[in-house]
Structure formats: structure tokens, C-alpha cells
Amino acid sequence: MGKITIQDVAKAAGVSATSVSNFFNNRLHHMRPETRERIQQVVDSLGYAPSHAALQLRTGRSPMIGLLVPTVANPFFGELAVEMEQAAKDEGFRILLCNTLQSASNERDFWGGLHSLGVKGVICSSALVTTSELEEYVSMGLCVVAVDEKQSDHLPPSVDFVSVDHRKSVAIAVDHLAQLGHRSISYIADTKSTTFSRRSKAEGFLAAASANQLEDCHIVMPPEQTPSLQFSGKELAELGRDAVKTILENRPHTTAIVTFNDMTALGAVEALKDHQITVPNQMSVVGIDGISISELLTPSITSVRQPLELSAKEAVRCVAEQLAGRRERKDVYVEPELIVRRSSGPPPTSRVESIRGV
């Protein structure tokens, strides 16, 4: 059978080609529910995928994909947004960027606004949206892909999930330090670690410490953080600073630190400098995420890189497949990658003596 056309879909559904075009362009106000259902059934059975290029010629604009992130003020999400824009362009889409500022009400407004604008595909990197809300958005006709974050292990049947393997990311960091000879490692987390990614990282740290038979490893969480710490790059660095104080006071035998993201690693390194502790001679530091700024610091930060370009390509591809009629959900995990730089090295012969200058 040759390439399926819009005329084939129209004939099989018993409607006009204009009706099928209206269906794909979300012009549904005067279309009966049974007609929409019949067209969808034919699209599914024939495997018809509309041409994005043809759609752009008809409308004079590229199909839009909404992208919800906490804020591009966090370099991680800024780099993610850039990769999403490039991946979308390669697939014939454009990105409509929405900064939610970790506000559930802002986020709901964005979902409603995207739908009212006729946007059919949404990529969401938010820990706030609930499963029931996702089900509601899908019922509105939106094609949804969750990236890196989710509130529940069970997403709605048609919501795809794209993420790096967070447990593996931290395991790679711990394995690297263990191979260098470190036996006492502290992991800096946020206060609650309630998001999927941060919870997975904490679990991965404990599992990796056990696998390497490391008995003096601890999760460190600075006290009394504000909600903004969950997304602001500057405040994430301050979290690293505060955590180092806790480590030096309560975990004096620590010889290496792993942080749940690179901005926190930046703050940790600066705090160690303030305490005249050299990195990596007296303390090694490894971050997670691999944002570009990690390479520019002194010392440059060893980090487990999340390949954002791959995550973006997979997320956009999932949206395109859903728009083309795929309904079964997909889980896509991309492999993290260790980038060894200057912030990690063998432990000192005596951590306590090294700090005290004995």
C-alpha cells in the first residue's frame, strides 16, 4: 500500500478532506463527537501521519509545542530549553516556552492557555502536575510528554516519560569516587527530596554506597530551605554552601561530596575554599547534570552529564508520534555519562589531619 493521504482518511471515515484537516488543526467546534471519534479510529487503523510541512504551508506557521519548565534562570533548564528548540525545529515544530516558577496555579494557567491557543503537544518538566491533572489535559486532546519529573510512578496510559536514569547517575558518581579510594562520602540533597528525580538520586546514592561496601556515607540536607530553592540556580548554590557547613561540623571524616546537581556543587566548592579546604587535594566534589558552566569553574567540576540533546530529541519525537496517532505510552531512558575534570582525585591520607593542618 502506498503513502496514506488525507483523502484516504476522509474516504474511510465517510467525511470530507476538509473535515479531516479541521480535525488535525483542532478546529472542532462544529464537529460532532462521533465524527471526531470516527476520524480518530481511521487515523489509528491506517497509521496516517499528517505532514508538518504541509500544515506550515497552509497556516503560514509551524506547529507549536508547549514546553513547561520551572525557570530558565536555572542553567539546567535553560540548556534544556535550547536543546528542545533545536530538536523541535528539526522535526518541523516551534517551541512555546513557559516558565512556571514552581507555582501550581501558574502551571494550570499555562496548560489552559496552551490549549486555548490550539497547541496540541506539551512537553512538561515539572514535579507539580498531578496524575489526575495529566489525565484531564489528555482528555482535552493534548498530547503530553513528561520529561525528567513526575509525581507518581504510574502516569496516564497515553503520557510518555523521557528521563535520564537518575539512580544510575549517582551510582556512577559514587563508583568513580570509590575507585579513587574514597570511603567516606557525603551526598548533598535538598530538604525534602520529594521530586521524582531527587528521590531517585538519593535512593541511588544509598544503593551505590552499599554496593561499594562503604559504611561511612551519609545524605546531608541543610535545614530550613525555602520552596524557591527547588528551582533557582543562585539559591541552589547557596544550598551547597550551607550543606558544606553541616558536613564539616557533623561529618568530619568525609573526603568526598556528591551533589544532586551542578549548581549545588558550585556552591559546595566555593564554601570549601572559604574554609581553606583545597579541591580536590583535601576534598573531592562531583556534581550531577553536566551543565556547561561546570567546565568553566576553578577547579572545573567533575560531573555526571545528562545528555540533554538526546532527551530533547526523544521528547519531541514522542510528541510527533502521538500527534500522528500513536496512543500506547512509552518510557524512554537516556544513559548518563561521567565527565572527569579537576574537582575529583584520591583522598588525603587523613581527612581530619588534612583539615586541621596537623
> Are the C-beta atoms of 246 and 222 separated by less than 8 Å?
yes
Cell numbers representing residue 352 in the block: 581530619
Region of 26 (left: φ > 0; alpha: ψ -120 to 50; beta: rest) is left
Residue 333 has a pLDDT of 94
DSSP secondary structure letter of residue 226: -
Res 44: pLDDT: 85
The CATH architecture annotation of domain 166-306+339-356 reads 3-Layer(aba) Sandwich (3.40)
Distance CA 137, CA 121 (A): 10
Predicted local confidence at residue 325, as pLDDT: 83
Domains of the chain: which residue ranges?
6-48, 59-163+308-334, 166-306+339-356
pLDDT of residue 107: 93
Q: What is the pTM of this model?
A: 0.79
State how far the Cα of 8 lies from the Cα of 13, in Å rounded to an integer.
9
User: What phi, psi does 41 have (nearest 5°)?
Assistant: -65, -40
Model confidence over 52-95: pLDDT tens digits? 545 554 554 458 999 999 999 889 999 999 999 999 998 889 99
Instruction: Tell me what the mean pLDDT of segment 334-354 comes to.
Output: 84
59-163+308-334 shares its CATH topology with 166-306+339-356: yes
Q: What is the dihedral of CA 84, 85, 87, 90, to 10 degrees?
A: 170
pLDDT tens per residue across span 6-21: 888 889 999 988 888 7
pLDDT in tens, 105-139: 999 999 999 998 889 999 999 878 888 999 999 99
Q: What is the pLDDT of residue 193?
A: 54
> Among the listed ranges 77-81, 101-105, 151-155, 207-211, which one has the minimum average pLDDT value?
151-155
- In the CATH scheme, what architecture does the domain 59-163+308-334 have? 3-Layer(aba) Sandwich (3.40)
Q: Which residues are within 8 A (CB) of 277 and not within 5 positions of it... i.e. 6 or more apart? A: 248, 283, 355
Percent of the chain with pLDDT over 90: 59
Beta bridge partners of 186: 218, 257
Distance set, CA 117 to CA 13, 126, 278 (Å): 27, 21, 53
Closest C-alpha to 86, from 293, 316, 307 = 316
